[in-house]
Amino acid sequence: MNDNDIDRDEIEREDAERDEDALPPEALRSLSPLAWARYGVSSIAYVRPVVVNGQQAVSIHAADGTPIGAAPTLALANAAILQHGMGAASVH
């Protein structure tokens, strides 16, 4: 195996770990807004357009709204989110 090969077993293990952390639907429905934000803070990120030094950019935020990064394009922002083991949430 070389550096370009995908370790499918590792991906499956990471998916299983994420599933173990998931709350059942009944518990999710009863979360307060603050608890809901904290629930995904380490695994969910969202993006929004911003202007940085007069240039269009995309800011990356944790689920609770904490800014955690920025990128020049949406594609790069999504790539950064995935690279850090987080899921990108689409919010409109």
Averaged pLDDT, 23-49: 80
Asked if 86 and 76 touch (Cβ cutoff 8 Å), the reply is no
pTM over 0.95: no
User: Which of 54, 57, 91 is CA-nearest to residue 75?
Assistant: 57
Q: What is the pLDDT of residue 81?
A: 93
- Give residue-wise pLDDT tens across range 44-69: 899 999 998 999 999 999 888 889 99
